[in-house]
Structure 1
Amino acid sequence: MPREIEFPDPLQIPVFDNHTHLDISREGEPIDVAAALREAARVGVTRVMQIGCDLPSARLTIGLVDEHPQILGGVALHPNDAPRLAASGRLAAAYDEIEEYAAHPRVRVVGETGLDFFRTGPEGRGVQEESFRWHIDLAKRLGKTLQIHDRDAHDDVLRVLDSEQAPEKVVLHCFSGDVRFARECVDRGYHLSFAGPITFKSSQELRDALAVTPLDRVLVETDAPYLTPHPFRGATNAPVMLPLTVRRAAAVLGVSVPELCHQVNQTGERLYGSW
């Protein structure tokens, strides 16, 4: 976390970051994970869900969950990675490696998987969908929570989940839909995880979606190092910035910050077990 950015005020009740990438640095220097965890703990973010979304980051995630008790993990092939692996003939081997890592007892998430129609064109979408279906099956076989990446593909994400009979525990990470999509997800029993964009002035539609989400279906995340909340939008994000999103989410939901933190922790225990 750059020193010129002031830390948020600490939360009264500690909470966890539902989705972060401690392996991705926007500055090109390796992240000091222990320091990032200490900084986050200073403001009440005491645990994180580290997501490895390609083979190198999945391997690193296994090392992090073994080394740091504050970290649980998720592993998958990102939707935009699957077509590249297929084109090089390495997709089947990648599936085997992800399945091995997903069985680790401190890996509680299969994800992020899903569909991304923003960065992948029509020529790669068939492989994306095949990969999504494979990850859904893996989550069901292992009894793990599925975390979904959905970019410009709301209806197709629901179509695939419906056709595959979704796992019991599903999270839409960095939720980006409108009120209609939020209600469709909630009706299916899914959980919605909200990130820094809910603090952006231009994101009223996203706040409206949060407002209709039941409190026990809400999670909060950074998706660091991306999507830094206001007033630090554009800077590098980190788990230490999560309180800014938590406080805005509580205001939108009309609950106190401690009440939201308490419920998020309960939901996390239900989805992922204890750290």
Structure 2
Amino acid sequence: MQDIIERLDAELRTVPAAGFEIEQAVRTGRTAVRRRRVALGGAGLAAVLAVGGLAWAVGPGSGPDGGPDGGTDRTPVAGSPTPTPAPAPEPWEKAELIRVDAEGTITLNPAAAVLEQTRVTDPEGTVHRAFELRLDGQDYYAVADDAGYASQPLPAQGLTLREWAQQLLTLGTSESGSSDEAWVRINERSRVRPEPGVEIVASRPDPGLGDRFAPAGQPTAVAEVVRDGVTWFLAVRRLPGGATEAIPYRKDATVPTLSAFVAYARTQYAPNESGGSEGLR
């Protein structure tokens, strides 16, 4: 037992020889740490570049398809359906001024020049659009709403656009009943008498405006009258039942006298190849 103790004591007092150099081991370890740090830094930079490259690939100025605007490539693909083009509008007919479609949309002939336009309300409260248009060298008045339109070539009895439209929209109506009855009365001998507010300047019985104006034997007359300071010419006829109808024409440069009005009215009611004009209406 004593021998074992003495041997252990002797061996513990002896320092064994170093199997490696401590300083060299420390330097080697530090170098390995630096290399690891550099490797980790390079990996991080590579990761940043990868993320940055992805951001550039989908950022403004490009897109998944590589197009310059970042949008979808709209180049037609073989075999894909081609959009059907809208049908071309029908050509406008001669003297066709306005079109009103099923939805009530009002379209003017693109070849027509708009000289004047306004809005006029009829007695029932409906608002109509009124136009003075020029097409192919001819001027027209026209009034339109979502149901259709009516027009008349100028001259229009010397009326302004608004006056013409109001007369058209109130034709046959007035506070006293018929707008025609508001002018004069005619008797069985073709003599005319003024209604209140109307002054008769001159009149002629039976002016011979033709059968399209009135049948033979029916009392007729023409008259020059003044109402509200304005001069008008009237084509007057007596209707079955005794009522009076007076068709007014406002004095203008085209029809300045009663004789000129008679000549004009005769041409308006004269028969022709197509059966005759619409008369003074």
Q: TM-score, normalised by structure 1?
A: 0.26
Q: TM-score, normalised by structure 2?
A: 0.26
Instruction: Compare the two structures and name the one with the higher helix fraction.
Output: 1
Larger relative contact order (Cα-Cα within 8 Å, sequence gap ≥ 6): 1
Instruction: Compare the two structures and name the one with the higher strand fraction.
Output: 2
Q: Between Structure 1 and Structure 2, whose CA radius of gyration is higher?
A: 2
